[in-house]
Amino acid sequence: MNINTNDFKDINPGDRVLMGPGPSNVSARVLQAMSAPCIGHLDPYFLSVMDETQLLLKYLFQTENPFTIPVSGTGSAGMETSFVNLVEPGAEVAVCINGVFGLRMADIVRRLGGQLIRVDGEWGRAIDPEAVRKVVRGKNPKVLALVHAETSTGVCQPLEDIANIAHEAGALFLVDMVTSLGGIDVAVDRIGIDVAYSGTQKCISCPPGLAPITFGPAAIKALESRKSPVVSWYLDMSMLRSYWGAERKYHHTAPINMIYALREALRIIAEEGLEARFARHKLNHRALVAGIEAMGLAMLVPESERLPMLNAVCIPEGVNDMKVRKALLTDFGIEIGGGLGNLQGKIWRVGLMGHSSSRKNVFLFLSALETLLNAEGAKIKTGALKEASAVYAET
Amino acid sequence: MNINTNDFKDINPGDRVLMGPGPSNVSARVLQAMSAPCIGHLDPYFLSVMDETQLLLKYLFQTENPFTIPVSGTGSAGMETSFVNLVEPGAEVAVCINGVFGLRMADIVRRLGGQLIRVDGEWGRAIDPEAVRKVVRGKNPKVLALVHAETSTGVCQPLEDIANIAHEAGALFLVDMVTSLGGIDVAVDRIGIDVAYSGTQKCISCPPGLAPITFGPAAIKALESRKSPVVSWYLDMSMLRSYWGAERKYHHTAPINMIYALREALRIIAEEGLEARFARHKLNHRALVAGIEAMGLAMLVPESERLPMLNAVCIPEGVNDMKVRKALLTDFGIEIGGGLGNLQGKIWRVGLMGHSSSRKNVFLFLSALETLLNAEGAKIKTGALKEASAVYAET
């Protein structure tokens, strides 16, 4: 096979404003840290980088769990790691499903030979704890799993009540924080979450490629009492514990430069502080919604159940989804997401995650959308920017 | 949990000369490409980067297999991907074992419920095709797997005869090329390899984090005729085919910046050309060995079975393994590897991989080693640099 090397140009992705369901924009500091020289995965300097990354991840997850690490794969690998280590064939596993990522959990449970207990909820609404209690009653789930921030719908799932239901049922409480971690309060220890995982490319604003994960004491105990080996060698937490723990026993070569990047992104989060970061996400979300609603557009999710970092906006009747998204990308360099599954063509998913959650982006998006919708002949009201401004003026 | 952000300094790994079993040194071009702005995984520009990466990977694997992609994990994830997609519970799987990575394959087969057929060989020697034929006779293996370049011993496994044995037995031929790909000729199509995988951090000289993989027609057919679902959602090749293929169906968020880096590393390989690259690896290996043997040190592996990129040097009697490696790292910034398993304390593993395979590194290493061994009082002969020079003078 022949290759003409002149066909391949320098990497040049241009400037995108990333306001979709992730990745979010990555700051120059993180990109710079990532491009530091690659060194050995057992080099004393790299071992210190691992230690610091674990410390910063514990701060972000708000946990004292010693076993808090970045898994060497994307957020989906975090989901798989959680289930593959805790679900043995035949085990009952309850999964709350109100969007694409709950469905994915159910798919993984089935592949592992678990007995799936489905708790179905309406897409675009939070799951009612009472529905969980009802379905779980009389069952013996080993794990009760749900998605904190359903990226496919923009719903924020309250966790406290369901954490209690899980523990009353004797189940481990497993939470997907791919989209929420770093953008909204998710205190692992305070809520009583046994296992949580996330991805780096959402509110952490690091490139995709790692899955922060934390295993609490009950999860470690479950891992240690397994009867069958973990079906995945790569994601076997017992072996990963020996590598990330004091033994430093070689397992696989860690993605060195990605971990440089994650450490820097976490350092930025620590410098801002969690409270300030959550407040910023909330504020920009409120301004965006004020602008969207001022145009006369509707949000998919009721106000009390909305995520700050992922805003599902109903596409007005008669407006061409793809045409608007394409114009946003080509004319303004703005990426937003479309709907998934049944919501395809019905919603836009507008992300305000991490580094991308800024007043600048809110104004850019509102003004671009207003312009494009007017060009499409959609009937929208004026005053979006004024209403968004009013939100910032309150503070 | 409180964090003092002053405790965390800027990433500063310093300059290391990476001459261990991987990672190898990464060129500035690759680091720069990796630090280009992160964009969306479905952005038209990124889709073109995916296409180009596939084209360059096909060139490197010397294959026309359309399904040739980087898996979103390190080399070990490539190993797991290969087996998890092809091994269903109860299937017979033959694995050749003459080092750590053959053992790892066997471990993965057992976890998947496969019936392991072991072909054991001496560590430090290639597996004899006749031994394979004998063990496989009368069996019905679905897969016959081996490691082309055993990173734990420095042995190069000849492939042609065993490829024939595999196909005569009706098995898919699965080859681990983690350490060989990009440093020695491995023509997937010409040899008749059905599945091969690698890692990015060895002879490709890209940071660790991706696993190039190629599935040939027979492997795809086996995948399509599975009776049970692939136990891993994350590594399910049917789903990955829909994402990397024409459909572009979202599966997981690709590690965008890592793929920028891989594409650039592959572009550098294409610019050098495969033949020139293989010749460079061979030449620097010969010079290193000439210097090592001139000192009176022995190589673990017989000449005809040596890898050019991973050189197992026997540690002379009475020399302290750790002390020498530590001095290499702290006094000279050179990383080499120690022995694994039974070979711990008995060999040094000296890598000459990709960007690290250079005359400059051969001379630096030989002069540093000579100096340290003399300081240790080891009885070594003079003339290492002269003999290494003589090898370069031949060309």
Q: Please say whether the beta carbons of A291 and A56 come within 8 A.
A: no
Residue A140: the pLDDT is: 97
Beta-carbon separation of B13 and A62 below 8 A: no
What digits encode the pLDDT tens for the residues A13-53?
Answer: 999 999 999 999 999 999 999 999 999 999 999 999 999 99
Residue B373 has pLDDT above 90, yes or no: yes
CA distance B75 to B194: 18
What mean pLDDT is predicted for residues B302-313?
Answer: 98
CA distance B46 to B256: 8
Beta-carbon separation of A39 and B56 below 8 A: no
A41 chain-B contacts, CB cut-off 8 A: 23, 208
Residue B1 has pLDDT above 80, yes or no: no
Half-sphere exposure of B149 (CA within 13 A, CB side): 29
A18 chain-B contacts, CB cut-off 8 A: 38-40
B214 chain-A contacts, CB cut-off 8 A: none
Please name the residues in contact with A148: beta carbons below 8 A apart, sequence gap of 6 or more: A156, A157, A159, A175, A176, A177, A179, A180, A186
Chain A residue at shortest CA distance from B272: A5
Q: Between A and B, how many residue pairs show a Cβ–Cβ distance under 8 A?
A: 265
* Interface-testing mutation among A1, A107, A356, with chain B (most B C-beta atoms within 10 A): A1
Please name the residues in contact with A301: beta carbons below 8 A apart, sequence gap of 6 or more: A124, A125, A153, A154, A155, A307, A312
Listed in order, strand segments (DSSP E) in B158-208 are: 172-176, 195-197
What mean pLDDT is predicted for residues B389-394?
Answer: 96
Instruction: Show me where the domains of chain B are located.
Output: 28-270, 273-394
Residue B246: the pLDDT is: 83
Residue B139 has pLDDT above 90, yes or no: yes
Neighbours of A134 (CB within 10 A): 12
In this structure, whether the domain defined by A274-394 belongs to CATH 3.90.1150.10 is answered with yes
d(CA B395, nearest CA chain A) in Å: 26
Half-sphere exposure of A99 (CA within 13 A, CB side): 22
A45 chain-B contacts, CB cut-off 8 A: 13-14
Beta-carbon separation of B5 and A263 below 8 A: no
What mean pLDDT is predicted for residues B231-248?
Answer: 93
Looking up tokens 């679905």 gives B142
CA distance B207 to B125: 29
Q: Assign domain B273-394 one CATH number from 3.90.1150.10, 3.50.50.60, 2.40.70.10, 3.40.50.2300.
A: 3.90.1150.10
Residue B304: the pLDDT is: 97
CA distance B25 to B131: 38
Give the rounded percent of residues in chain A with a pLDDT score beyond 70: 100
How many residues can be counted in chain A? 395
Beta-carbon separation of A5 and B270 below 8 A: yes
Beta-carbon separation of A34 and B34 below 8 A: yes
Beta-carbon separation of A8 and B63 below 8 A: no
Residue B388: the pLDDT is: 98
Chain B residue at shortest CA distance from A233: B108
- Pair type for strands A149-150 and B149-150: unpaired
Task: Map residue B282 onto helix, strand or coil.
Answer: helix
d(CA B380, nearest CA chain A) in Å: 28
* Cβ-count burial B268-289 (b if 16+ within 10 Å, e if not): bbbeeebeebbebbbbbbbbbb
B37 chain-A contacts, CB cut-off 8 A: 13-16, 25-26, 31
Beta-carbon separation of B8 and A63 below 8 A: no
Beta-carbon separation of B77 and A73 below 8 A: yes
B100 chain-A contacts, CB cut-off 8 A: none
What mean pLDDT is predicted for residues A142-151?
Answer: 98
Residue A342 has pLDDT above 90, yes or no: no
Complex ipTM tops 0.90: yes
Residue A151 has pLDDT above 80, yes or no: yes
- Pair type for strands B155-156 and B149-150: antiparallel
Beta-carbon separation of A40 and B229 below 8 A: no
Residue B342: the pLDDT is: 87
Average pLDDT, chain B: 97
Chain B residue at shortest CA distance from A35: B31
Label residue B179 by pLDDT band (50, 70, 90): very high
Helix A256-272 vs helix B256-272: crossing angle, to nearest 10? 150
Residue B248: the pLDDT is: 87
What mean pLDDT is predicted for residues A268-282?
Answer: 98
Residue A2: the pLDDT is: 81
A272 chain-B contacts, CB cut-off 8 A: none
Query: What spatial distance separates the first Cα and last Cα of chain B, rounded to whole Å?
Result: 62
d(CA A305, nearest CA chain B) in Å: 26
What is the CATH class of B28-270? alpha beta
B340 chain-A contacts, CB cut-off 8 A: 250
Beta-carbon separation of B207 and A52 below 8 A: no
- Of B251, B252, B335, which has the smallest distance from its Cβ to A40's Cβ? B335
d(CA A211, nearest CA chain B) in Å: 11
- Of B22, B59, B234, which has the smallest distance from its Cβ to A3's Cβ? B59
Residue B104 has pLDDT above 80, yes or no: yes
CA distance A393 to B342: 69
Q: Please, what is the Cα angle at A244 between A243 and A248, to 5 degrees?
A: 45
Residue A80: the pLDDT is: 98
Residue A341: the pLDDT is: 87
Tokens of A31: 């990109």
**Which among A311, A267, A265, A314 has a CA at the least distance from the CA of A286?**
A311
What digits encode the pLDDT tens for the residues A307-319?
Answer: 999 999 999 999 9
Residue B357 has pLDDT above 80, yes or no: yes
B64 chain-A contacts, CB cut-off 8 A: 1
B258 chain-A contacts, CB cut-off 8 A: 207, 209, 255, 258
Q: Which residue has the higher pLDDT, B342 or B43?
A: B43
Residue A93: the pLDDT is: 98
Label residue A395 by pLDDT band (50, 70, 90): confident
Residue A232 has pLDDT above 80, yes or no: yes
What mean pLDDT is predicted for residues A195-215?
Answer: 98
CA distance A372 to B345: 68
- Of A18, A37, A111, which has the smallest distance from its Cβ to B15's Cβ? A37
d(CA B108, nearest CA chain A) in Å: 6
